[in-house]
């Protein structure tokens, strides 16, 4: 006779509510871990998807993600001249806030070096990639734009021709892909007052009118280099770096910079909070299981009185503890899958993390069982009479 | 040679420390109960009745003296009673004022549990438990949880559980206290029947003076000592008819 199952079936509502409580704790733990994974995934998304072997950035800097970078708008042609370089694409990315129907929207405008790069690497879920050098955009759904919609950026209107899902920058803003030339035009938008001030500062004349009071010689942040398969990456790096005005970063270096420099504090913060949450979860689950044992002390005394071996009592407590843990984890996983898609930032639940959390729950349940079992074994049979 | 008494308590003392003083709960009590005998143990509150039952039931060791069950010396001041759990399971059945049934088990499961704990296969345990309950007129209540049984029915389930392992000794502590006089008498008559048909020794601690006529004899405790032993010939007659 399985006493644990009998008790659970008899007190099903209590068990379900308890498991639901544990499930919410599990969901919170999974959410924190998933948020961490999501931030890392978002940060690495563009680096991994864009498929560059090397990033040529401003000299003495480690841009464009961990710090600012501006290079010559013709740098791609210089890079293409290096032996072993298969292709070089200009890259630009900046945050842009704009109004639609009276509502402020945010996007991370990302330039594609059209026509060399029409953005076929972008996972488009609706619509098509860019087909024109101007006034077309591919937008992530998280921005809130619709397919075919026109959006006013800088001084021009752009038609949304394609939609993506989950393409965001490190800050969680959805990516809005336009051509590099359009991105530069959007970035160089100036107010009339700004132009007047620039003219006054540099003297009247048509050349001054095109200059800004804010230094913005180039909006190109980097050149993305794709290497021929047989080439030695170090040779290309040395050749480009020898120019002195640029720095070359490999894909691995970019990833390392993002994770261990720019996002380091955020990652540690989330991990620390996750650890605290796991400790709290452990304490609460332990207390729940201990209290369940305490509720059954009279029955445990009765079992002892009728001669039950300790193993009967140990199995009953351990089974209940592990069932609560397992159901809590299962319900928590279900709740996570239901709830987290509605969160504004990506919450990534990986099977490996769920497995690790399962192991943590098993350890917590084992410790909680031991507490309950040690209390139960101290119960004397004659306590039935009390 | 006559068989040994089922329960033999010899010169048992039980002392409790209470601050600086020592309380003598039992002071040199001796008692034999034979097969088929139903013995009442009465006395005022604090006289040591329940302590005597705990010692007889191997739930507490005596401070001095010894307890023999079926001729085996099983409890004495140095005895490790936790190791006597299996012995207790096979030789002693307990019934209390409250039925103390396990609330999440049905009537038949409460009885079958006592058998399964003794390694009887589940199917056989359930079948025997069902038959036992049916013999106590609870055949229609097998699948009811305790909360759905009346007090008298719960007590009969407790009796069935106590009888499940065919113990030679039944110990009952105020088993009729929670029942009305009619149902209380029915339970005690059930004990008489069990003693007769199963040849078990039954010791019943009771306050109920109206039930004394149903015992073969009554031992009265006062201040931890046996004060009087009264024989009730009428009880034997009542039990046999």
Contact A6 B109 (CB under 8 A): yes
Percent of chain A with pLDDT over 70: 95
Maximal CA-CA distance, chain A: 105
CA distances from A47 to A209, A252, A283, A346 (A): 37, 9, 40, 17
Q: What is the ipTM of this complex?
A: 0.80
Confirm if A337 and A349 have CB atoms less than 8 A apart: yes
| A135-139, A209-213, A344-348 — most confident range | A135-139
Cβ atoms A187, A109 nearer than 8 A: yes
Q: Using 50, 70 and 90 to split pLDDT, how confident is the model at A205? A: low
Interchain contact A380–B (C-beta under 8 A): yes
**Closest among B31, B35, B59, B34 to B43, alpha carbons compared:** B31
Instruction: Test B122 with A1 for CB contact under 8 angstroms.
Output: yes
pLDDT for the residue numbered A179: 94
* Cα–Cα dist A248/A237, whole Å: 6
**For the segment A108-134, what is each residue's pLDDT rounded down to a tens digit?**
999 999 888 888 889 999 999 999 989
Residue of chain A nearest B92, judged by CA positions: A306
Point out the least confidently predicted range of A155-159, A297-301, B178-182, B196-200.
B178-182
Residue range A187-202: mean pLDDT, rounded: 75
Residue of B nearest to A306 (CA): B89
pLDDT in the model for residue A351: 93
CB-based contact B104 A11, cutoff 8 Å:
yes
Residue found by looking up tokens 């296969």 in the block: B121
Alpha carbon distance B201, B36 (integer Å): 5
Mutation site for A-interface testing, chosen from B80, B95, B113 by largest number of A Cβ within 10 Å: B113
- Chain B nearest CA to A382, separation (Å): 6
Q: In 3-state terms, what secondary structure has residue A47?
A: helix
Residue B78 has pLDDT above 60, yes or no: yes
List, for residues B107-142, the tens digit of each pLDDT value: 999 999 988 988 889 999 999 899 889 888 888 889
Q: Is A5 exposed, middle or buried (0-12, 13-18, 19+ CB in 10 A)?
A: middle
Residue A206: what pLDDT? 55
DSSP string for residues in A206-264: HHHHTS-SS--S----EEEEEE-TTS-HHHHHHHHHTTSSEEEEEHHHHHHHIIIIISH
Nearest CA in chain B to A382: B59
Banded pLDDT at A178 (limits 50, 70, 90) = very high
Which residues of chain A lie closer than 8 angstroms to B96, CB-CB?
384-385
What are A287's two structure tokens?
């207390």
Q: What is the pLDDT of residues A227-259, one digit of tens each?
A: 998 899 999 999 999 988 899 999 999 999 988
Q: How confident is the model at residue B1 (pLDDT cuts 50, 70, 90)?
A: low
Chain B contact present for A381, CB below 8 A? yes
CB contact under 8 A, B109 and A1: yes
B109 with A308: Cβ contact below 8 A: no
Please give the pLDDT value at position A43: 86
| pLDDT band for position A203 (cuts 50, 70, 90) | low
d(Cα B229, Cα A37) in Å, to the nearest integer? 81
Q: Do A303 and B59 touch (CB under 8 A)?
A: no
CA nearest neighbour of B188 among B165, B229, B156, B226: B156
Q: Testing the interface with A: which of B85, B87, B126, B145 to mutate, by most A Cβ within 10 A?
A: B85
Of the candidates B92, B61, B84, the one whose C-alpha atom is nearest the C-alpha of residue B171 is: B92
- Residue tagged 């070359």 (tokens): A248
Write down the pLDDT at residue B228.
Answer: 57
Please report the pLDDT score of residue A174 as a whole number. 93
Task: For residue A45, give the nearest of A153, A140, A118 by alpha carbon.
Answer: A140
For residues B230 and B220, give the distance between their C-alpha atoms in angstroms, rounded to a whole number: 8
Q: Could you write out the DSSP letters of every residue in A156-214?
A: EEEEEEEEESS-B-TTSPBEEEEEHHHHHHHHT---HHHHHHHHHHH-SSHHHHTS-SS
Query: Does the pLDDT value for residue A153 go beyond 80?
Result: yes
Task: Name the pLDDT band for B229 (thresholds 50, 70, 90).
Answer: low
Largest CA distance in chain B: 55
DSSP state of B103: T
Q: How far apart are CA B128 and CA B109, in angstroms?
A: 11
Q: Are A89 and A55 in contact (CB under 8 A)?
A: no
Q: Does A241 touch chain B (CB under 8 A)?
A: no
- How high is the pLDDT of residue B240? 40
Which chain A residues in 294-333 lie under 8 Å from chain B, judged by CB atoms? 298-299, 302-309, 312
pLDDT of residue A210: 52
Cβ contact A9–B104 (<8 Å): yes
| Confidence (pLDDT) at A207 | 54
DSSP string covering B118-180: TT--HHHHHHHHHHHHHHTT-GGGTT--GGGS-HHHHHHHHHHHHHTT--SEEEEESTTTTS-
HEC secondary structure over A268-318: HHHHHHHHHHHHHHHHHHHHHHHHHHHHCHHHHHHHHHCCCCHHHHHHHHH
CB B109 within 8 A of CB B103: no
């Amino acid at each position: 006779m399985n006493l644990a199952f009998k008790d659970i079936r008899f007190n099903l509502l209590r068990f379900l509510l308890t498991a639901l409580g544990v499930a919410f704790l599990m969901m919170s733990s999974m959410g924190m871990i998933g948020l961490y994974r999501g931030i890392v995934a978002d940060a690495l998304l563009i680096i991994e998807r864009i498929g560059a072997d090397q990033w040529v950035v401003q000299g003495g800097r480690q841009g464009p993600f961990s710090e600012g970078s501006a290079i010559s708008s013709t740098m791609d042609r210089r890079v293409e001249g290096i032996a072993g370089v298969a292709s070089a694409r200009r890259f630009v990315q900046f945050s842009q806030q704009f109004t639609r129907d009276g509502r402020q929207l945010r996007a991370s405008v990302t330039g594609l070096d059209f026509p060399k790069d029409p953005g076929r690497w972008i996972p488009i879920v609706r619509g098509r990639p860019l087909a024109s050098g101007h006034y077309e955009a591919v937008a992530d759904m998280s921005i809130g734009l619709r397919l075919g919609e026109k959006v006013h950026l800088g001084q021009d209107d752009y038609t949304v021709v394609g939609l993506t899902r989950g393409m965001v920058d490190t800050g969680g803003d959805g990516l809005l892909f336009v051509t590099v030339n359009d991105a530069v035009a959007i970035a160089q938008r100036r107010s009339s007052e700004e132009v007047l001030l620039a003219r006054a500062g540099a003297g009247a004349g048509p050349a001054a009118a095109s200059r800004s009071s804010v230094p913005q010689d180039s909006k190109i942040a980097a050149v993305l280099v794709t290497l021929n398969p047989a080439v030695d990456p170090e040779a290309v790096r040395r050749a480009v770096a020898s120019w002195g005005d640029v720095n070359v970063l490999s894909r691995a270096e970019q990833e390392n910079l993002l994770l261990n420099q720019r996002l380091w504090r955020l990652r540690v913060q989330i991990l620390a909070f996750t650890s605290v949450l796991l400790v709290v979860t452990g304490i609460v689950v332990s207390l729940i299981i201990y209290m369940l044992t305490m509720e059954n002390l009279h029955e445990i005394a009765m079992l002892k009185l009728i001669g039950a071996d300790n193993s009967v009592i140990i199995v009953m407590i351990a089974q209940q503890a592990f069932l609560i843990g397992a159901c809590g984890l299962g319900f928590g996983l279900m709740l996570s899958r239901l709830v987290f898609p509605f969160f504004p930032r990506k919450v990534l639940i990986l099977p490996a993390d769920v497995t690790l959390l399962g192991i943590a729950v098993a350890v917590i349940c084992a410790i909680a069982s031991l507490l309950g079992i040690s209390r139960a074994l101290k119960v004397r049979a004659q306590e039935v009479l009390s | 040679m006559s068989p040994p008494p089922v329960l033999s308590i010899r010169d048992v003392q039980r002392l409790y420390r209470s601050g600086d003083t020592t309380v003598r709960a039992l002071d040199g009590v001796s008692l034999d109960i034979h097969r088929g005998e139903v013995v009442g143990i009465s006395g005022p509150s604090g006289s040591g009745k329940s302590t005597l039952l705990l010692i007889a039931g191997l739930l507490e060791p005596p401070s001095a003296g010894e307890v023999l069950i079926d001729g085996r010396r099983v409890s004495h001041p140095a005895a490790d009673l936790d190791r006597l759990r299996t012995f207790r399971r096979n030789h002693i059945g307990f019934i209390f004022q409250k039925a103390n049934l396990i609330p999440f088990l049905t009537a038949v499961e409460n009885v079958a549990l006592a058998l399964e704990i003794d390694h009887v296969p589940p199917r056989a345990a359930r079948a025997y438990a069902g038959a036992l309950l049916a013999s106590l007129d609870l055949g229609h209540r097998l699948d009811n949880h305790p909360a759905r049984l009346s007090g008298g029915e719960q007590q009969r389930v407790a009796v069935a559980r106590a009888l499940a392992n065919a113990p030679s000794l039944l110990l009952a502590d105020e088993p009729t206290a929670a029942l009305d006089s009619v149902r209380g008498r029915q339970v005690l008559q059930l004990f008489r029947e069990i003693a007769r048909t199963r040849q078990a020794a039954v010791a019943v601690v009771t306050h109920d003076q109206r039930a004394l006529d149903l015992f073969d004899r009554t031992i009265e405790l006062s201040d931890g000592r046996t004060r009087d032993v009264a024989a009730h010939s009428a009880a034997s007659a009542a039990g046999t008819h």
